[in-house]
Amino acid sequence: MIIDGKAISAQIRAELKEECRAFVAERGFAPALSVVIVGDDPASQVYVRNKARACEEVGFGSRVYALPAETTQAELLGLIGKLNADPTVHGILVQLPLPKHLDETALLLAIDPRKDVDAFHPYNVGKLTVGNPTFLPCTPAGVMELIRRTGVDPAGRHCVVVGRSNIVGKPMALLLLAANGTVTICHSRTRDLAAVTRTADILVVAVGRAKFIKADMVKRGAVVIDVGMNRDENGKLCGDVDFAAVEPVAAAITPVPGGVGPMTITMLLRNTLTAAEQL
Ligand code: NDP
């Protein structure tokens, strides 16, 4: 079975559109997201445009603040301060990566945790860790939706996460644990990775290496979720899993593109609605 991230994402966006309509009817205003982008990185510009478009699609307001690459830390902190204080702004997102001269950690700390729709603020990371999250980190939350809406329950299953980044691997493991999975986290220092991945009932891969997971690393009947977004030798978008080889072995698998990718922005929309509901 191929897990259709595009279709599942469209289904959730339709649900969010309905929830947004009900919210506007009750509260008299729409949830609103402010996105800050610094510099002219083409990939970041595409992501920001897609986020603004997604907001429009479900009836949210959105504002994009495009700042020049030479923006200072003080100027950026000033803008964040204004957005924090503005009651018409419900979600704030600073598109990463930032130009090298800016201190990313300090900026993420400056965002009001109640408006931190990316869930990167240590306050929200802590809430997730103690099992009381307000916002779920977008990409791992998208993976959980794909797993659940495929009819798979992680409870009691061996869930192996390959990758331990703060954005994907670590929060992914926490969400699977919260869903009562038995979780193993692997990384670049894991010994005999294949021996571990072969024991996974649910295998989530977030490594950032094209076609890294081969068929002999996957147990027959496993659910395989590929978070990776890479270019192969021909410049074609591909995941961390060798899809053609693994698909016959897996019970269910996400393709790249069309798997996890479409879910991330959808989960950002969900967090923006949550932020608006709570303010
Ligand atoms: P990072 O580079 O931050 O983390 C990669 C992780 O993979 C690290 O923990 C690293 O281990 C581990 N790793 C690297 N090499 C190996 C190896 N040989 N064996 C085992 N583990 C290894 O990447 P991200 O987590 O940010 O992203 C991962 C992938 O997901 C990328 O392709 C990225 O583009 C994609 N992505 C996709 C998103 C989406 O919306 N679909 C969103 C975010 C990311 P160690 O910690 O030891 O170095």
Helices (H), 111-216: 122-129, 138-149, 169-178, 193-197
Residue 140 near ligand 1, beta carbon < 6 Å? no
Domain-embedded: residue 119 = no
Same domain for 102 and 195: no
Determine the distance separating the centroid of ligand 1 and the alpha carbon of 23, expressed in angstroms: 37
Q: What six digits make up the tokens of 202?
A: 């649910």
Residue 190 near ligand 1, beta carbon < 6 Å? yes
Domain-embedded: residue 239 = yes
Domain-embedded: residue 17 = no
Number of domains in the chain: 2
Same domain for 85 and 154: no
The CA distance from 197 to 144, in Å, is 19
Domain-embedded: residue 128 = no
Question: What is the tens place of the pLDDT at every residue in 230-245?
Answer: 999 999 999 999 999 9
Same domain for 158 and 250: yes
Confidence check: pLDDT of 264 > 90: yes
pLDDT for 40 equals 94
Same domain for 146 and 66: no
Confidence check: pLDDT of 223 > 90: yes
Which atom in ligand 1 lies closest to the alpha carbon of residue 168?
Answer: 25
Same domain for 249 and 152: yes
Same domain for 144 and 99: no
Q: Determine which residue's CA is closest to atom 8 belonging to ligand 1.
A: 163
pLDDT for 279 equals 82
Q: Is 95 a catalytic residue?
A: yes
The CA distance from 5 to 265, in Å, is 12
Asked if 263 and 142 touch (Cβ cutoff 8 Å), the reply is yes
Question: What is the tens place of the pLDDT at every residue in 58-107?
Answer: 999 999 999 999 999 999 999 999 999 999 999 999 999 999 999 999 99
Question: What is the tens place of the pLDDT at every residue in 30-69?
Answer: 999 999 999 999 999 999 999 999 999 999 999 999 999 9
Same domain for 160 and 242: yes
Domain-embedded: residue 124 = no
pLDDT for 41 equals 94
Residue 206 near ligand 1, beta carbon < 6 Å? yes
Same domain for 241 and 173: yes
Domain-embedded: residue 2 = no
Q: Is 51 a catalytic residue?
A: yes
pTM: 0.97
Structural domain of 218: 138-261
Q: What is the 3-state composition of the chain as percent helix, strand, coil, each rounded to the nearest 5? A: 45, 15, 40
State the chain's mean pLDDT as an integer.
97
Handedness of CA 109, 13, 171, 49 (dihedral sign): negative
Same domain for 244 and 174: yes
Determine the distance separating the centroid of ligand 1 and the alpha carbon of 14, expressed in angstroms: 30
First to last CA, the chain: 41
Question: What is the tens place of the pLDDT at every residue in 138-150?
Answer: 999 999 999 999 9
Same domain for 248 and 174: yes
Domain-embedded: residue 118 = no
Share of the chain above pLDDT 70, in %: 100
Q: Is 226 a catalytic residue?
A: no
Q: Which of 4, 115, 116, 118 is catalytic?
A: 118
Residue 143 near ligand 1, beta carbon < 6 Å? no
The radius of gyration of the chain's CA atoms, rounded to the nearest angstrom, is: 19
CATH for 92:
3.40.50.10860
